[in-house]
Amino acid sequence: MTMTNLQKEISKRRTFAIISHPDAGKTTMTEKLLLFGNVIREAGTVKGKKTGKFAASDWMEIEKKRGISVTSSVMSFPYHGHHVNILDTPGHEDFSEDTYRTLTAVDSVVMIIDSTKGVEPQTIKLFKVCRMRGIPIFTFINKLDREGKDPLDLLSEIEEVLGIESYPMNWPFGMGKRFLGIYDRHNNDFVHYKGNEEEEILPYDQIENYPQIANNEVFQASQDELLLLEEAGNEFDVERVAKGELTPVFFGSALANFGIKTFFDTFLQFASEPKPRKTNEGLIDPDNEAFSGYIFKIQANMNPAHRDRIAFLRICSGKFERGMTVHVSRTNKAIKLNQTQQFMASSRETVDVAYPGDIIGIYDPNVYQIGDTLTAGKEGIEYHELPVFPPEIYKKVRVKNVMKSKQFRKGIEQLVQEGAIQLFYQDSNDDIILGAVGQLQFDVFEYRMEGEYNVSIEFTTLGGRIPRWIGQKDVDSRLFDSRSLLVRDRFDRYAVLFENEFTLRYFTDKNKDIELIDLLESNDYKSV
Ligand code: G4P
């Protein structure tokens, strides 16, 4: 059966995100991949904390100040017959719903682990989201040029802490000063580490022709480990990889540009192409000729000079052509998509055609919301991709100068619509409470209120809280107090912010008739 042009384009797409704990090497890896893609010519363009150069994806002033990437950006480039889309996710301690939402827009994930540290807290958090969605996860164990944990221990850490089975696609021979190279089990090659970003690929079958390697004591010692892997390790199973049940593991060094090419080539071979996605009318195949996609992120004021709002659209089916008219399912309005962009970090290029798996930015004249489905020829469908993520930190907010109340409300409304922060009202007095997944969102919020709306605000912290939504429409407000704070969300649904696990348990025991919903466990509680 011959493939249609649409199917050919889909089969080329590899849309993925790189996740890691801060400092594991995500930026360094991204930079190396962009070098392969000829997107950048010189290392250090993506980031150089110490040289004062900043990531191309640093859009906002605050990012520059902190030297981190707050908002997720998209980088696209062709590579060896593939069309690669890398979605950047913030790597610092604080991250937002934006990070989680970005993970809904990818088809696979690369998880970077620092070999000297093992599995770290933020990796666990991000991993859980990927796991929930059944996304294929590829692991890259970084910094083999340094003395790190024992590779076998790292594998068991991944299996035990993260609860996913692993299959080493390659195996390191030594590490740090004694690092000899990696045995590429998949291609049966030996990749010899020569330092200075140099590697040499040798046929493993003929390794006896290279006595400086074959007779090296590190080489000999590694043979036992290999035997152990062959006998006791998991089997490689493409289908289990695709379901996110088995993670292929690669070893290397991003900084030394070692093992990266082998990793990337193998990753592209096994990473998922765009798959059918769930809607209210069942699964929609990417090669369905009718165009459809959904908005997973909205970013206002990306360019302060233009005061624009850009909605990020993940294309799920059909072909996108600039100038086409699409329907917004929520409002049933028709919109002509003229101003559309594809991203290479902060530079944007007009995009004329795009295919499933691609992310495009569309100019938003204030008509879109996060979660909106856009279609052409398939009106009425809605993608159900974006669960609400319960905020973990809460703060009351008020405007310092009451004369600025109007701008204050406008700012809150727009920034909440962007989805970086969630809005609640204290039921007893209508005080405004903001909830976010991390502290950074409050800093960004304050900064943007000041910079974009000219409003100074004041926070009173409520600290970490455990939120539960109430199933019932009516509640008796006398049951609640400051430890179990009754609030309404922006859709007027009741929720309770519990001070800690203890107050939650106490309340649950005393009020068995009140249905408390944990958003992390309830998939059908829609955000928008
Ligand atoms: P992140 O985006 O995940 O936060 O990590 P990033 O790439 O910024 O890397 C964090 C630090 O680890 C950087 O050093 C980077 O050079 C170093 N690094 C990344 N990969 C490797 C590797 O394979 N081996 C070794 N030895 N180091 C690696 P830094 O000093 O914090 O920053 P910089 O001044 O070098 O940018």
Ligand 1 near 245 CB (within 6 A): no
The stretch 15-41 carries a mean pLDDT of 84
**In testing the pocket of ligand 1, which one of 28, 182, 251, 253 has its CB within 8 Å of the most ligand atoms?**
28
Residue 31's pLDDT band, with cuts at 50, 70 and 90, is confident
Higher pLDDT, 100 or 205: 205
281 CA to centre of ligand 1 in angstroms: 46
Record the tokens describing residue 62, joined without a space: 């605050």
Domains defined along the chain, listed by start: 13-73+81-175+234-270 (3.40.50.300), 277-376 (3.40.50.300), 393-517 (3.30.70.3280)
| Phi and psi based region of residue 445 (left: phi greater than 0; alpha: psi -120 to 50; beta: remaining) | alpha
The stretch 16-22 carries a mean pLDDT of 90
- Work out the mean pLDDT of the chain and round it to a whole number: 86
The closest residue, in CA terms, to atom 11 on ligand 1 is 23
11-20, 25-34, 261-270: the lowest-pLDDT one: 25-34
The closest residue, in CA terms, to atom 10 on ligand 1 is 23
Determine the atom of ligand 1 nearest the C-alpha atom of 256.
23
Q: In the predicted model, is pLDDT for residue 35 greater than 80?
A: yes
- 165-179 residue pLDDT tens: 999 999 999 999 999
**Per-residue pLDDT at 379:** 87
Higher pLDDT, 67 or 328: 328
3 state DSSP class of 182: strand
Q: Which residues contact 282 (CB under 8 A, 6 or more apart)?
A: none
Q: In the predicted model, is pLDDT for residue 343 greater than 70?
A: no
Share of the chain above pLDDT 70, in %: 86
54 CA to centre of ligand 1 in angstroms: 14
Q: Can you tell me the distance from the alpha carbon of 176 to that of 171, in angstroms, rounded to the nearest whole number?
A: 14
The closest residue, in CA terms, to atom 26 on ligand 1 is 143
**Per-residue pLDDT at 153:** 96
- 47-81 residue pLDDT tens: 444 444 444 433 344 444 444 343 447 888 889 99
Ligand 1 near 27 CB (within 6 A): yes
Ligand 1 near 67 CB (within 6 A): no
**Per-residue pLDDT at 348:** 59
Taking 3-state DSSP, the helix, strand and coil percentages for the chain, each rounded to the nearest 5, stand at 30, 30, 40
Question: E-assigned strands of 99-197?
Answer: 108-114, 137-142, 165-168, 170-173, 181-184, 189-195
52-56, 186-190, 228-232, 477-481: the lowest-pLDDT one: 52-56
Q: In the predicted model, is pLDDT for residue 526 greater than 70?
A: no
Determine the atom of ligand 1 nearest the C-alpha atom of 47.
36
**Per-residue pLDDT at 39:** 67
**Per-residue pLDDT at 22:** 84
The closest residue, in CA terms, to atom 15 on ligand 1 is 25
Bridge partner list, 494: 488
**What is the number of helices (H) and of strands (E) in the chain?**
13, 31
- 205-249 residue pLDDT tens: 999 999 999 999 999 899 989 999 988 889 999 999 999 999 999
Determine the atom of ligand 1 nearest the C-alpha atom of 20.
3
**Per-residue pLDDT at 302:** 58
**Per-residue pLDDT at 432:** 96
Ligand 1 near 85 CB (within 6 A): no
Q: Is 423:490 a contact under the CB 8 Å cutoff?
A: yes
**Per-residue pLDDT at 2:** 81
The stretch 369-392 carries a mean pLDDT of 84
Determine the atom of ligand 1 nearest the C-alpha atom of 253.
23
- 435-456 residue pLDDT tens: 987 777 888 889 889 988 999 9
Q: In the predicted model, is pLDDT for residue 159 greater than 60?
A: yes
Q: Can you tell me the distance from the alpha carbon of 253 to that of 92, in angstroms, rounded to the nearest whole number?
A: 21
